[in-house]
A and B are shown apart, each in its own frame.
Chain A
């Protein structure tokens, strides 16, 4: 575990989590949530959990972002909060 890398990733993790919940445009919220998942994947790889990093990259950053974007495209894109 590289502690400086760990600190940077954790700070960016909190920032992306807050931004994705504060944006009113749901498509950009989904994309920023994909960025959050990818940062999480980097964090697993850095914490020596390589298998979890593989799964998070494929499933978290890939499939769940696709699910969110598909839902946003089939419903409305605006959010009230």
Chain B
């Protein structure tokens, strides 16, 4: 039963983590705690996007060496389902033909290479989320720098104490 639930489990946990981060940003009194909550919120969003890209039975979006060499030659008849097996059985004679044709083939663009997109997880959300991680760290750094300036100004990193200081200085 757990196995059937596991694809949607990612999405449940991402909602829970996101709400934990939102709660910390709103109701925590300490600025460092608020910023930790903001980072948790950001990683929850990244978890959502990476969960989109996972497919059932997929692997990492990298072509292996023998997959590239198996793609040489007349290989158009390989069907959708059995193409793994076809790649395996054709791997040896692909190597032979590659040796016969020499090194000129090695630099070409492999026009006969057959790639099934269903075998790999979708790399587009990964690349987008790389940017999101870096942006998250820079916002955390800016927030912590502002926290240090506030500590130099008011001698505290608690929101309520700083508000009291501002209020008493206005009176």
Hey, which bits of chain A sit against chain B, CB under 8 A? 1, 3-4, 6-7, 10, 13-14, 17-18, 20-21, 26, 29-30, 33, 36-37, 40, 43-44, 47-52, 55-56, 59-60, 63-64, 67-68, 70-72, 74-76, 79-81
CB contact between A72 and one of B28, B32, B50 (< 8 Å): that residue? B32
Let me know if B2 and A36 touch, CB within 8 A.
no
Let me know if B133 and A21 touch, CB within 8 A.
no
Task: Give CA–CA (A63, B47) in the complex, Å.
Answer: 20
In the complex, how many angstroms separate the beta carbon of A64 from the nearest chain B beta carbon? 5
Q: Is the interface of B mostly helix, strand, loop or mixed?
A: helix
Let me know if B3 and A21 touch, CB within 8 A.
no
Tell me the B27-68 residues at the A interface (CB within 8 Å): 28-30, 32-33, 35-37, 39-40, 43, 46-47, 50-51, 53-54, 58-62
Let me know if B151 and A49 touch, CB within 8 A.
no
* Closest residue on chain B to residue A44 by CB atoms: B50
| In the complex, chain B residues whose CB is within 8 Å of the CB of A36 | 40, 43
CB contact between B33 and one of A17, A29, A44, A52 (< 8 Å): that residue? A29
Task: Give CA–CA (A62, B29) in the complex, Å.
Answer: 26
| Top 5 closest pairs, chain A to chain B, by CB | A3-B6, A75-B151, A79-B30, A48-B121, A10-B13
Q: Which bracket fits the contact residues of B?
A: 35 or more
Hey, which bits of chain B sit against chain A, CB under 8 A? 2-3, 6, 9-10, 13, 16-17, 20-21, 24, 28-30, 32-33, 35-37, 39-40, 43, 46-47, 50-51, 53-54, 58-62, 121, 126-127, 129-130, 133-134, 136-137, 140-141, 144, 147-148, 151, 156-158, 160
Task: Give CA–CA (A33, B40) in the complex, Å.
Answer: 9
